[in-house]
Amino acid sequence: MATRMKDIAVDLGVSLMTVSKALRNHSDISEETRARVLKRARELNYEPNWIARSLATRRTYMVGVVIPDLMHSFFAEVAKGIARHLDPLGYQVVISNTDENPAAERRQVDLLVARHIDGLIIATALPSWKLNAHPAFESRATPYVLIDRLPAGLEANYVGVRDEELGEMATAHLLAQGCRRVAHLRGPATANSAGRVRGYKRALSRAGVEFHPEYVVQAGGGDMSGFTAMQHLLSLPSRPDAVFCYNDPVAAGAIQAVLESGLQVPADVAIIGAGNVHYSDQLRVPLSTIDQSSGLLGEEAAGLLVQCIEAKTPAKHSHILIPPRLIVRDSSRRAALRT
């Protein structure tokens, strides 16, 4: 059996409370007593029981992180950023995968809330997010921060990227390479892709390039979605000469599809992704991308959440938007070819 405060107390002939206070550096304990307690605690390998402590204090120092896919290195990086911020503060991070499944997401949230986590960080897979619809959530009023994806019309704390700016940046870059038939592999409606689509359109219109609806196709979730969506684009009568993909895994799939069809990247089709996943410079063709500072994003989200947890006033809906950064690699570098 593990050592309890009580053991130390009887051992030293003091009261349980004295031990409790001494251990927590409570002010009103004499230096001498504290020293004795600490010493004995160490000797007995005392470790506080977090369960009991949580029950009494109503704080667990656990934070839940709900993400659609751990395998997607963007989210893994975000998760690491979160942990990096929270760990020194004494919070334990509990990560849950939803596989982009709304039902799974709801279940995970319920579970975490039932475990009385102190706060929640969520990259939601729900088209329109209603935590309010979560009875468990509502009753406990667990503070939460959304990341990466902000369902339209939802007022909430949010940390993400300037999606419209991102879309415009990527598209403008492709146009600057001399491409004119610029297509877009957009993400599912549930994601943050609407803003990127807007940015895409804006860049086109600013460059005076006509918008062709058939150039925007959706690349769902799966690992192969970029591949198949690209195949579709290639089969169009007027095949695109550039593609802006809403994330890097999709872009990687797109590159494969282009190469397999016998065409070249970027000569025939220039490609750019988003997210700057860590292996994107090692791909078949090193991938141009828009960096989203994933680690930083995680840290910011964690910071905001802690603020919410510790504030007595639940000052809702702050937004933190991280500026996108263009990273040019071979997959879109066409200028050189035209010299």
Partner DNA sequence: CTGAAAGCGCTAACAG
Partner DNA sequence: CTGTTAGCGCTTTCAG
Q: Select the residue interacting with DNA from 11, 38, 44, 48 (CB under 7 A).
A: 48
Cα 216 to Cα 185: distance, rounded to the nearest angstrom: 6
Residue 28 contact among its own copies, DNA, none, beta carbon within 5 to 8 Å by kind: DNA
Length of the chain: 339
316 binds, among its own copies, DNA, none (CB under 5 to 8 A by kind): none
Choosing among DNA, its own copies, none, which partner's interface includes residue 120 (Cβ < 5 to 8 Å by kind)? none
∠120-125-128 over CA atoms, to 5°? 95
Q: Which is nearer to DNA, 61 or 101 (CB)?
A: 61
Sole window of 48-56, 73-81, 193-201, 220-228 interacting with DNA (rule: CB under 7 A): 48-56
Hey, which residues between 14 and 43 contact DNA (CB under 7 A)?
14-18, 20-21, 23-24, 27-33
Of positions 35, 52, 176, 315, contacts DNA by CB under 7 A: 52
The residue among 204 and 309 lying less far from DNA, judged by its C-beta, is 309
Contact call for residue 282 and DNA (CB under 7 A): no
* 108 neighbors 126 (Cβ within 8 angstroms): no
Q: Which is nearer to its own copies, 96 or 225 (CB)?
A: 96
* Shorter beta-carbon distance to DNA: residue 17 or 71: 17
| Distance, CA of 72 to CA of 30 (rounded, Å) | 53
62 close to 115: Cβ distance less than 8 angstroms:
yes
Least distance (Å) between residue 206 CB and its own copies: 33
Binding partner of residue 198 among its own copies, DNA, none, CB cut-off 5 to 8 Å per kind: none
Check residue 276 and give left, alpha or beta (phi > 0: left; psi -120 to 50: alpha): left
Question: H-helix or E-strand containing 169?
Answer: helix 163-176
- Report the residue from 10, 35, 39, 49 that binds DNA according to the rule CB under 7 A: 49
Q: Which residues contact 327 (CB under 8 A, 6 or more apart)?
A: 276, 288, 289, 290, 291
Distance between CA atoms of residues 163 and 166, nearest Å: 5
CB of 109 to its own copies, least distance (A): 12
Q: Quote the CA–CA distance of 42 and 278 in Å, as a whole number.
A: 43
> 3-class SS at 327?
strand
Burial of 51 (0-12, 13-18, 19+ CB in 10 A): exposed
Q: d(Cα 225, Cα 247) in Å, to the nearest integer?
A: 11
- Contacted entry of its own copies, DNA, none for residue 278, CB cut-off 5 to 8 Å set by kind: its own copies
Q: Least distance (Å) from its own copies to the CB of residue 165?
A: 26
Name residue, tokens 């492709």.
Answer: 174
Q: Which parts of this chain interact with its own copies (CB under 8 A)?
A: 1-3, 45, 47-52, 54-55, 60, 70-71, 73, 76-77, 79-80, 83, 92-97, 110-116, 135-136, 139-140, 223, 249, 252-253, 255-256, 278-279, 282-286
Residue among 115 and 284 whose Cβ is closer to DNA:
115
Q: List contacts with DNA (CB under 7 A).
A: 1-2, 4-6, 14-18, 20-21, 23-24, 27-33, 48-49, 52-53, 55-58
